[in-house]
């Protein structure tokens, strides 16, 4: 997957009961950001994880 302006990103979705964990990993740096929330909102959690990853990359 391509992040808008950050390059290649791997997104992993892991369901645990009613909850969903979305991990976004930047391929070039190995940085990871995670969002956890209701399993009914996978796209929203993916958007949050990508935003957190962008913020983490900008802070370095």
Q: What is the pTM of this model?
A: 0.89
The pLDDT of residue 4 is 60
Reference 26, options 59, 38, 42, 37; nearest CA is 59
pLDDT digits (tens, 9 = 90+) for 16-47: 999 999 999 999 999 999 999 999 999 999 99
Rounded Cα distance, 15 and 26, in Å: 21
The residues, any chain, with a CB within 8 Å of residue 5's CB and separated by 6 or more, are: none
């Amino acid at each position: 997957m391509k992040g808008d302006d950050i390059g290649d990103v791997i997104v992993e979705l892991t369901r645990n009961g009613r909850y969903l964990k979305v991990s976004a990993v930047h391929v070039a740096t190995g940085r990871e950001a995670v969002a956890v929330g209701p399993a009914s909102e996978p796209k929203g959690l993916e958007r949050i994880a990508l935003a957190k990853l962008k913020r983490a990359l900008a802070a370095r």
